[in-house]
Structure 1
């Protein structure tokens, strides 16, 4: 993924509500799957938020995240952010839903979390 970091983009946030349902913070995967299932021309796009810590750390972090693509091909982040949080660049995983789920399950088995993957960028002395 690090080799593809140049593909990252800021995805505009837009809260989409259904009758008695609205997206929930920290539930991006569930939020997009509900909206994809509901129809309206949305499809889930799974990938990663890219966090580089402004170059102050010797690693970068990829955080599992899902957004929607509308029928016009525009990406939309429907998961509410915490007040004051900045948007992070997003990179699509470019794999199927099943492959993405398998990847998250592998991370859970290996690291005890599906939330993130750190990539070492500098040698530790």
Structure 2
């Protein structure tokens, strides 16, 4: 049961849904360049369907991870994703498949190195 000021809302079927938010700041284990971060993200998204779940949900999660928060919320709601962690690090689909996203696909690290020419 939530209180009146709860950050959760109900969808059309009456199921509570969490409003998503940007992830908390994080730091990579060592300073990282934009190119390295992009490579890590591409490798994750290329292999994500192999972790299980539905390809369509992985595509929705990627679109949400790359969008602003309000658009991301719409994408998540439209895809029927059940958000366990408001920062999207842990989600489920309506069939019960688990989707775990690393922070590096959701936001920038605090120790991102600016490459020359940027």
TM range (shorter): under 0.3
TM-score if structure 2 supplies the norm length?
Answer: 0.26
**If each structure's helix is expressed as a fraction of its own residues, which one has the higher value?**
2
